Amino acid sequence: MNSKNIIMRFGFHISIAGGFPRVIPRALRTGCETMQIFSGNPRAWKKKPFNPEEAQNFQEALSQTSIAPLFIHAPYLLNLASPSEELYTRSIDCLVDELNKAYRLGARSVIVHVGNKLRLKEPEALDRVARAINLAFRRANNSIQLLLENTAGQGTEIGFKFSQLKTIVDQVDEKERIGICLDTAHAFEAGYDLSTSTGLNQMMDEFDTLLGLDRLKALHLNDSRTSFGSRVDRHWHIGKGEIGLSGFLHIVNHPALIHLPGIMETPRKEDADDLRNMEIMRSLIR
C-alpha cells in the first residue's frame, strides 16, 4: 500500500436495463465502489420521459451505499462537433438534458466523447465543441461537471490528442465545470504507450504540461484488444489485452492517479466477467 493509504476506487459501467431500481443491486453484486450509467437508451434520441420520483428514489438508495462518485455517460448519438446544424442543435439540447438528469440522479459529472469532425477541418470542429459546451453550461441550471473523454481517434474522431483537448478546454468559459476522463484503451490506441512505466510517465507529463493534472477527474480502465497506435477502439479484459497486467500495475499505483475513480467498461456477458476483472484489478494494488 502507498504511503498515504489512498487506493484507487474501482467500478463498472452498470446497465440500466429494467429500470433504475435494478442498478444498485447490480453494482453491489460486482463489487463497485464507484459506477457509471447511462441516463436512458444511449442509441436513441427520443427518450422515455424521465420520472423524477424514480430519480429521487435512486439517489436516496445510492446514498445508503458507499458507492461514489456516480458518473453519467452521455449517449453515443450526440456529436458536439457535428457540421449539420440540426444535429449540432440536437446534441446541445441532449447535453443540457444529460446535465440536468445527472443532477437529479445525484451524479457528480457527465462524461462525453469529444466527437466526430466528419467533413470539417480539425480547428473548426474543436471550436464547435467548445461553443456547444459554453451554450449547454449556460442552459443547464446546476453545477454538474462535464468530463471530456479522450478518444481512440477512430475514423474522424477528434479528442485523441491532449493538444486537441487543450484547445477545447482553453475556450470553455466556466473552467471549474470542465474536466477530463482518461480512457486507457483509447489513449493506448491513439498512440500514448501507457503499457510501460516510461510511456505512462511520458503521457502523464504531457497531460500535465498541456492540461494540468488537476483537470483529470476520472479514469476509464480498459485493456485494448488492438495494438499500440491502431486508432481502433476495442475494449478488452484487464490484463488480457495489449496494455497487459504490467501496464495496469503501473497505472493503478501511479501516485498521480491513485486518488481517481476508475471505471471499467470491459466486455461483459455475465457477472462472472465483471467479477474476474474486479479481482484482477484489486490484486494489482500495492
Kindly tell me which of 220 and 225 has the beta carbon lying closer to Zn ion: 220
DSSP reduced 3-state for 17 = coil
CB of 26 to Zn ion, least distance (A): 19
Size of the site for Zn ion (CB under 5 A): 3
Residue 73 in contact with Zn ion, rule: CB under 5 A: no
Report the DSSP pairing between strands 70-73 and 34-37. Answer: parallel
Nearest residue (CB) to Zn ion, 204 versus 221: 221
CB of 186 to Zn ion, least distance (A): 6
Cell of 21: 431500481
Name the residues annotated as catalytic: 43, 73, 76, 113, 149, 183, 186, 220, 233, 235, 265
Distance, in Å, from the CA atom of 170 to the CA atom of 148, rounded to the nearest integer, reads 13
| Interface with Zn ion (CB under 5 A), residue from 33, 97, 233, 274 | 233
- The smaller minimum CB distance to Zn ion, of residues 70 and 104, is found at 70
Distance CA 8, CA 281 (A): 10
- Give the nearest distance from C-beta 49 to Zn ion in angstroms: 28
Question: Does position 220 bind Zn ion by CB under 5 A?
Answer: yes
**Which residue among 33, 98, 183, 242 contacts Zn ion (CB under 5 A)?**
183
Nearer to Zn ion, 104 or 218 (CB): 218
Whose CB is nearest to Zn ion? Answer: 220
Distances (CA, A) of 157 to 125, 135, 145, 203, 233: 10, 22, 22, 20, 11
* Closest to 145 in 3D by CA, of 101, 178, 171, 175: 178
The answer to whether the CB of 259 falls within 8 A of the CB of 271 is no
Select from 100, 3, 112, 96 the least CA-distant residue to 50. 100
Residue 223 sits in the site that holds Zn ion (CB under 5 A): no
Q: Which helix (H) or strand (E) holds 170?
A: helix 162-171
Q: In terms of CB distance, is 50 or 228 closer to Zn ion?
A: 228
Compare residues 117 and 220 and give the one whose CB is closer to Zn ion.
220
| Residue 52 CB, nearest approach to Zn ion (Å) | 28
Angstrom distances, CA of residue 246 to CA of 98, 165, 241: 36, 27, 11
Angstrom CA distances, 9 to 38, 60, 114, 189, 195, stand at 20, 21, 25, 24, 20
Smallest gap from Cβ 235 to Zn ion, in A, equals 6
Rule CB under 5 A: which residues touch Zn ion? 183, 220, 233
